[in-house]
Amino acid sequence: MKIPKPVYYGDYLQLPKILEAQVTESAKYGDEAHDETLFIIIHQTYELWFKQILHELDSVRAIMQKPYIPSTDLSVINSRVERVTAIQQILIDQIQVMETMTSLDFMEFRDFLVPASGFQSLQFRLVEATLGIKAHHRMEVEKQFFKSRLKPEDHKKLEAVEAKVSIFELVEEWLSRMPFSQFQDWDFWGEYSVAVDRMLTHDEEIIRSNPSLDEKLKGLELKNLEATRDTFRVLLDARLFDQWKAEGKVRLSQKAMLSAVFIYLYRDYPALQMPFRILNSLVEVDEKFTTWRYRHAIMVQRILGTKIGTGGSSGHEYLKSTTDRNRAFLDFFNLATFLIPKSATPKIPPEVVEQLDIVYDSLRA
Amino acid sequence: MKIPKPVYYGDYLQLPKILEAQVTESAKYGDEAHDETLFIIIHQTYELWFKQILHELDSVRAIMQKPYIPSTDLSVINSRVERVTAIQQILIDQIQVMETMTSLDFMEFRDFLVPASGFQSLQFRLVEATLGIKAHHRMEVEKQFFKSRLKPEDHKKLEAVEAKVSIFELVEEWLSRMPFSQFQDWDFWGEYSVAVDRMLTHDEEIIRSNPSLDEKLKGLELKNLEATRDTFRVLLDARLFDQWKAEGKVRLSQKAMLSAVFIYLYRDYPALQMPFRILNSLVEVDEKFTTWRYRHAIMVQRILGTKIGTGGSSGHEYLKSTTDRNRAFLDFFNLATFLIPKSATPKIPPEVVEQLDIVYDSLRA
Amino acid sequence: MKIPKPVYYGDYLQLPKILEAQVTESAKYGDEAHDETLFIIIHQTYELWFKQILHELDSVRAIMQKPYIPSTDLSVINSRVERVTAIQQILIDQIQVMETMTSLDFMEFRDFLVPASGFQSLQFRLVEATLGIKAHHRMEVEKQFFKSRLKPEDHKKLEAVEAKVSIFELVEEWLSRMPFSQFQDWDFWGEYSVAVDRMLTHDEEIIRSNPSLDEKLKGLELKNLEATRDTFRVLLDARLFDQWKAEGKVRLSQKAMLSAVFIYLYRDYPALQMPFRILNSLVEVDEKFTTWRYRHAIMVQRILGTKIGTGGSSGHEYLKSTTDRNRAFLDFFNLATFLIPKSATPKIPPEVVEQLDIVYDSLRA
Amino acid sequence: MKIPKPVYYGDYLQLPKILEAQVTESAKYGDEAHDETLFIIIHQTYELWFKQILHELDSVRAIMQKPYIPSTDLSVINSRVERVTAIQQILIDQIQVMETMTSLDFMEFRDFLVPASGFQSLQFRLVEATLGIKAHHRMEVEKQFFKSRLKPEDHKKLEAVEAKVSIFELVEEWLSRMPFSQFQDWDFWGEYSVAVDRMLTHDEEIIRSNPSLDEKLKGLELKNLEATRDTFRVLLDARLFDQWKAEGKVRLSQKAMLSAVFIYLYRDYPALQMPFRILNSLVEVDEKFTTWRYRHAIMVQRILGTKIGTGGSSGHEYLKSTTDRNRAFLDFFNLATFLIPKSATPKIPPEVVEQLDIVYDSLRA
């Protein structure tokens, strides 16, 4: 190992480039608006973080493209997805810095930026596409925005990433390869079905005997329960499940979904801890973006009210409408529906435990 | 001043009472569910904090009921409302503790708690009522819930607080008493009107000349702009404003609203700093409860999916529906609509500045 | 399963008891100080959370007392320790609520509370003792405080818990039972030693060739490096290690420490993921209490300056001095010293991998 | 107002420049270390934020250099300082992103960065100098570091900023100009003195009658009290105060300090609200940097243990030693010492109230 060439902090970080990239538009038309610098710098930090998120997600995709993912790599995947969520928390927290800007100050330079807009952040769209949001998942209005507002070369880059396999697709394949949808000598899903029935029957009794519900509310609750019952029925019936999928009610295949349910139920076993954590942190990625969109929409409304934004449009309605959309991993978020009390989960037979567990003989001594 | 009697920490805090008030239901029917203790304790801390919030709000109400509020009292009001928001942040943060409970563990004791439910928290309803949410602001389903689920004596207590004057009403009166809706020798609202027209005309030009909007989107934006224009028209027209109020589009009186707009525009003057901060922190109270409801709804969905909760109902839909409702101070939140660039605000004539400002002659020297 | 008796929210939580336990001292001597209620309620929430922390730690201790801890129980241990850290975050966040109280307001009732003091929180001392802080780890002044300020019955309760086995001791035993300090056919620690030497030699070259260090600083750095080298020597030498332990420089046994180092280096293997997470979350428990003490000391200084507190003493100096003490798991925190680059860690032979890893044949296909 | 030239998001933010400025050193010597990108990007965001902080502080300095600061400008100063603290919170929060990097991963590229180091961040030093940390306030070791590690041109820039007037100096002048150290017809400081004596006499009685202090502790506390008494004596005695200042125990002049005490005591008056907030937010700036240094030192220790860092030195000891130093506004932080209970503060005579308060006749009606 030879001694590397000495490195100077400012050169290494290319600070001259980075720190001279703040040119205000307001200064071109008169007095510089003091707060425009904040507007530029906060967006630049957002873009730097998006680059880092892409760096992590691209590496996760590369690992998951292997036909077999070694367990130590699962740990790497999880760390990187968790890092993404740590970064997202910063994206959210930064909104509080933006909120130190008042309406009165923002309007000093808003006009000079038209029609620039966060919608034009190519990197953010690449993040969504890499996670699993393809063009056909988007609302019509959003697709139109991209066409009219992204530069053609940026639009092309987005399409190129949309054409690649997404992390959602790779996770689905990985789950489908798992051996949990059917066991050789153990009718797990039959036993699960029985436990579910028992739980729902009990729920029904609770509703019927609940003194604080009048007949109308009782009827509502029982209808609700029936819907839950149907949901379970769909889960366990390949044909019904495919139909749901076709209707867009679910994105995962049935096989992948069953593996996910199994993982969630038996997450305490060493073999399933990391798979569980990965699914869980992917849901967290979705949720943090949802929170970010929501907080962002609120901030815009607080600063502009119903007035138009820099994109030349009154964006907060649109922003609010996308808050809860564009979630690639919603199926995992909704998985709680299929969970049952810990004490009611079927007992795993020894030959399966052996596969899920790790035991040191020396540790038993 | 005499020396007070010595006090012991545990006696002062009445810890024996507090720390023996955790009795799990699960233990009555078999094995105690480990996580039920968490469920009890987190709710007890919530109730303690609600008591503190009521302590602050009641004192704010008492101060505001004075016919004239001295400026040093405004500072006290603001500190107490800001304390409420600090507590609300804890209410929100605590959800992360609740989220350490898994579905599998929660379902171990869910059944034993039916039909107890957070809906039955009397104190939370008292907080809402004290802020300004009266029975007629609530959704029908919510009112029914209260009737069927609250104990009669609790329901009576709620009605008693609803019958009192709320902080919203007191704030409105206070704003209406202010001399900003009309000045003696200064046509402020006329000048404001001109500034607004100029801004909106400019916005219109921006939309029309925006190369990234096609005709359809342009039409949409222009329609939107027209709506904004109408909003300003309503603000400045007593008759139209009253109509809005009658339709429930706004809760404040026009006079109060005009004062609020004036305060927001000239918040940098000593006389208006504290009034601005008070309005702002009241909006913050609303927003924090909104965030809390939202986070709470997400947590329930994450733990239960579509299954029924301890209230014997699948509450997350209801929870989600109230997220953005029950805001007493929404009018202030929406005030941004009426703000204009700082440099465009009418210049205040000296005789008015004199009233808003504080100047030490000695400091000028 | 029968239908349980209906439960009412307020009864379940014993709210009448909880919400009537706030009696201010100031009211006994004149006008009630408005902020004393906050002072009482915040401390009551602290005590509720301490009870919850004890509930978790006691259950962790019970699990770890088993002669063999099944892997699914490790997962339970980890969840509960992580829950403790989630609660600690709330303890820290709550300081921001306390900070809404000004010096001027606190001094209105400070005198009435003498000599009550947070030092007298029995539960907090029980938490420390359960984690592993015994009387002989405490500073002399602290022990004296306990004797003079705790009620005799409280002091007795503390001694009873100090006499029990602590989580630190159980973790140490658990690590010592692990088979990582010596492998049958693999000289891991020899290979590790070689990797360490290579790293330190390289570090030495870097220091010697560093153009920005003058001779004096270079000498300092090289002395520092030598100290690091000694530290590694101690780690691998049972006799030296025991001497360190005798001198109080380390609390763990050598065997336990070696296991911990192995776990940190190979944490990505399924068998070691959960052990790593447990050690890591115990360090987090220490760190959160450190942060809490630090923030608490700052708050006291901000409110009282150098004046005496409710305990009748100017406590902030004492508070500051304990900030970084009373850490049961400091050895794990300092473990980074023994880590080396991932690419330099010895390659694990297949027969050991087999014990650490989990492989589904079906997944390889 | 003409329509400005259309602006594109990516061009406005100069993204090509910003997003191509991440060149890893590890790639030059072999395989790229995955985590080096994070290391670069997080430091780049830090530097962007430092630029923003300098933008705010420079503008605050410019405003404060005016011989008379209008009250509306005080509001602007305060907003900008509060924005700095909002940004600092992000600096602190970002450490959690850095902590997602393990020791094992960091050591993969640590060697390639020597001797680059955060010490070489010119902008951070400019921030400190602008606030009020001049060369003579720094520890010897720190000054040497700057000389040996900063590029000569960077060192020159630092000296240039150190030569300018700092915000500390401007705040001191501003406070000294205030008319609170002596009133024409009101012996405020005499009355204050009496109130202080009464408080300290009472404190003494409390200590003497405290049953839980033995004689030794009592002696200690009484000595402590005497020290507090001396501190007050110094505050009110120009000669003693100057001596303190000469000894470096305090940085402010007596006149400035008295104004600060007056402001803290009567902060509820409109004239003093903003001055109070400014002093308070400057203390917050100090505290946030203290927290940031502390969290940073902990993170380094967690990642490197006692090993050397990229600066080629084992920096965490140094880091820890500076944690609580380099605070420009420590005198304000320590101000609590001079505060007394609200009810004990001297009553302000009407002719002074008139100057501090704002009263609308119309509001009294």
The per-residue pLDDT for range D247-259, each reduced to its tens digit, is 999 999 999 999 9
A9:D116 CB<8 A: yes
N-term to C-term CA, chain A: 44
Local confidence band at D321 (pLDDT 50, 70, 90 cut-offs): low
Partners for C (CB, 8 Å, 3+ pairs)? Answer: A, B, D
Partners for B (CB, 8 Å, 3+ pairs)? Answer: A, C, D
Question: Which positions in chain A touch D55 (Cβ < 8 Å)?
Answer: 34, 37-38
The arithmetic mean of pLDDT across residues C279-295, rounded, is 94
User: Where does A33-179+248-364 sit in CATH, by number?
Assistant: 1.20.58.480
Report the C-alpha gap between A310 and A297 in whole angstroms: 14
pLDDT for D363 equals: 42
Buried b (16+ CB within 10 A) or exposed e, B131-150: bbbeeebbeeebeebbeebb
Give residue-wise pLDDT tens across range A132-153. 999 889 888 788 778 888 999 9
Q: Select from C5, C274, C345, C358 the residue whose CB has the most chain A CBs within 10 Å, as the one to mutate to test that interface.
A: C358
Instruction: Take residue D235 and report the two structure tokens written for it.
Output: 């505050």
Q: Which residue blocks in chain D are alpha helix, DSSP H?
A: 9-12, 15-19, 26-29, 36-64, 71-98, 103-106, 122-131, 140-149, 152-163, 167-177, 188-209, 215-235, 238-246, 254-265, 270-304, 316-322, 330-333, 350-356, 361-364
The arithmetic mean of pLDDT across residues C280-301, rounded, is 93
A306:B227 CB<8 A: yes
* Interface A:B, Cβ pairs < 8 A: 159
Report the C-alpha gap between C340 and D104 in whole angstroms: 6
pLDDT of A258 higher than 60: yes
N-term to C-term CA, chain C: 45
Please state the φ and ψ torsions of residue C230, each to the nearest 5 degrees.
-60, -40
- What is the torsional sign of CA A156, A157, A158, A161? positive
Q: Which residues of B touch D (CB under 8 A)?
A: 1, 3, 6, 68, 70-72, 75-76, 177-179, 198, 202, 205-206, 209-212, 267-271, 273-274, 355-360, 362-364
Q: Which residues of C touch A (CB under 8 A)?
A: 1, 3, 6, 68, 70-72, 75-76, 177-179, 198, 202, 205-206, 209-212, 267-271, 273-274, 355-360, 362-364
For residues A312 and C37, which has the higher predicted lDDT (pLDDT)?
C37
Burial of A332 (0-12, 13-18, 19+ CB in 10 A): buried
Question: Which positions in chain A touch B341 (Cβ < 8 Å)?
Answer: 104, 107-108
Report the C-alpha gap between C96 and C186 in whole angstroms: 53
- What is the torsional sign of CA B131, B136, B140, B143? positive
B87:C97 CB<8 A: yes
Task: Give yes or no for a cis peptide into C115 (omega within 30° of 0).
Answer: yes
- The answer to whether A236 touches A257, Cβ cutoff 8 Å, is no
Nearest to C178 among A212, A358, A363 (CB): A363
Residue B73: other Cβ atoms inside 10 A: 16
> HEC profile for D243-293?
HHHHCCCCCCCHHHHHHHHHHHHCCCCHHHHHHHHHHHHHHHHHHHHHHHH
For B307, the closest chain A residue by CA position comes to A337
The arithmetic mean of pLDDT across residues D16-37, rounded, is 97
Selected from 1.10.645.10, 1.20.58.480, 2.60.40.420, 3.20.20.70, the CATH number assigned to the domain covering C9-181+251-331 reads: 1.20.58.480
A3:C179 CB<8 A: no
Give the up-direction half-sphere exposure of residue D316: CA atoms within 13 A in the CB hemisphere. 19
Length of chain C: 365
- The answer to whether D332 touches D248, Cβ cutoff 8 Å, is no
pLDDT for C84 equals: 98
Burial of A49 (0-12, 13-18, 19+ CB in 10 A): buried
A83:D21 CB<8 A: no
For B199, the closest chain D residue by CA position comes to D1
Local confidence band at A232 (pLDDT 50, 70, 90 cut-offs): very high
The arithmetic mean of pLDDT across residues C26-37, rounded, is 96
A86:D79 CB<8 A: no
For B230, the closest chain A residue by CA position comes to A306
Smallest Cα distance from C285 to chain B, Å: 15
The mean of the pLDDT values for chain B is 91
- The answer to whether C160 touches B48, Cβ cutoff 8 Å, is no
Residue whose structure tokens are 């959160």: C288
For residues A52 and D326, which has the higher predicted lDDT (pLDDT)?
A52
Nearest to C120 among B10, B119, B121 (CB): B10
* Interface B:D, Cβ pairs < 8 A: 88
The arithmetic mean of pLDDT across residues D64-69, rounded, is 92
Nearest to B68 among D178, D206, D363 (CB): D363
pLDDT for C360 equals: 53
Instruction: Take residue C15 and report the two structure tokens written for it.
Output: 């709210």
Instruction: Take residue D143 and report the two structure tokens written for it.
Output: 């000054």
Local confidence band at A211 (pLDDT 50, 70, 90 cut-offs): confident
The arithmetic mean of pLDDT across residues A312-332, rounded, is 72
D212:C303 CB<8 A: no
pLDDT of A311 higher than 90: no
Nearest to D75 among B178, B211, B273 (CB): B273
Residue A230: other Cβ atoms inside 10 A: 11
Report the C-alpha gap between A266 and C77 in whole angstroms: 16
pLDDT for C289 equals: 95
**Residue D321's Cα: distance from chain center in Å?**
17
Hey, what CATH topology would domain D31-180+250-364 get? Methane Monooxygenase Hydroxylase; Chain G, domain 1 (1.20.58)
B224:A306 CB<8 A: yes
pLDDT for C359 equals: 62
Give residue-wise pLDDT tens across range C41-90. 999 999 999 999 999 999 999 999 998 899 999 999 999 999 999 999 99
Q: Select from B71, B74, B180 the residue whose CB has the most chain D CBs within 10 Å, as the one to mutate to test that interface.
A: B71
Closest by CA position to B24, among listed C52, D283, A253: C52
For residues B67 and B275, which has the higher predicted lDDT (pLDDT)?
B275
Please state the φ and ψ torsions of residue A130, each to the nearest 5 degrees.
-65, -35
Closest by CA position to A40, among listed B70, D119, D17: D17
Can you tell me whether residue A206 is helix, strand or coil?
A: helix
pLDDT for D351 equals: 87
Burial of D140 (0-12, 13-18, 19+ CB in 10 A): exposed
Reported ipTM: 0.94
Q: Select from A1, A7, A9, A41 the residue whose CB has the most chain D CBs within 10 Å, as the one to mutate to test that interface.
A: A9
- Alpha carbon of A10 to those of A15, B77, D58, D116: distances in Å? 5, 49, 22, 8
N-term to C-term CA, chain B: 45
- The answer to whether A149 touches A117, Cβ cutoff 8 Å, is yes
Q: Select from D73, D353, D358 the residue whose CB has the most chain B CBs within 10 Å, as the one to mutate to test that interface.
A: D358
Local confidence band at C361 (pLDDT 50, 70, 90 cut-offs): very low
The arithmetic mean of pLDDT across residues D173-180, rounded, is 93
Closest by CA position to A57, among listed A126, A156, A121, A133: A126
pLDDT for A148 equals: 80
pLDDT of B324 higher than 70: no
Residue D25: other Cβ atoms inside 10 A: 21
The pLDDT > 90 percentage for chain B reads: 72
Instruction: Take residue D28 and report the two structure tokens written for it.
Output: 């030059």
For A31, the closest chain B residue by CA position comes to B343
A214:B265 CB<8 A: no
DSSP single-letter state for residue B248:
T
The arithmetic mean of pLDDT across residues D221-228, rounded, is 90
Burial of C116 (0-12, 13-18, 19+ CB in 10 A): buried
The arithmetic mean of pLDDT across residues C340-364, rounded, is 80
Question: Which positions in chain B touch D202 (Cβ < 8 Å)?
Answer: 1
C345:D104 CB<8 A: yes
CA–CA–CA angle C223, C229, C232 (5° rounding): 150
Rg (C-alpha) for chain C, rounded Å, is 25
DSSP single-letter state for residue A42:
H
B312:A265 CB<8 A: no
Closest by CA position to C166, among listed C134, C141, C204: C134
N-term to C-term CA, chain D: 45
Nearest to A94 among D8, D59, D90 (CB): D90
Nearest to A271 among C205, C268, C358 (CB): C358
pLDDT for A355 equals: 84
DSSP single-letter state for residue D181:
S
Length of chain B: 365
C6:A211 CB<8 A: yes
DSSP 3-state helix, strand, coil percentages of chain C (rounded to 5)? Answer: 70, 0, 30
Report the C-alpha gap between A108 and A106 in whole angstroms: 5
Report the C-alpha gap between B63 and A280 in whole angstroms: 49
pLDDT for B319 equals: 60
Give residue-wise pLDDT tens across range A23-63. 999 999 999 999 999 999 999 999 999 999 999 999 999 99
pLDDT for A77 equals: 98
CATH class of B23-182+251-364: mainly alpha
Give residue-wise pLDDT tens across range B154-167. 999 999 999 999 99
The mean of the pLDDT values for chain A is 91
Question: Which positions in chain B touch D268 (Cβ < 8 Å)?
Answer: 71-72, 75-76
Partners for A (CB, 8 Å, 3+ pairs)? Answer: B, C, D
Report the C-alpha gap between D316 and D293 in whole angstroms: 10
Local confidence band at B316 (pLDDT 50, 70, 90 cut-offs): low
pLDDT of B80 higher than 90: yes
Closest by CA position to D82, among listed D282, D225, D242: D282
pLDDT for B365 equals: 31
Smallest Cα distance from A75 to chain C, Å: 5
pLDDT for A316 equals: 53
The helices-and-strands tally (H runs, E runs) of chain C is 19, 0
The least confident of A318-327, B55-64, B333-342, C150-159 is A318-327
The least confident of D88-97, D126-135, D222-231, D235-244 is D222-231
The arithmetic mean of pLDDT across residues C274-301, rounded, is 94
Report the C-alpha gap between C339 and A197 in whole angstroms: 52
Question: Which positions in chain D touch B68 (Cβ < 8 Å)?
Answer: 363-364
Report the C-alpha gap between B41 and C46 in whole angstroms: 11
- What is the torsional sign of CA C134, C136, C138, C140? positive
pLDDT for A50 equals: 98
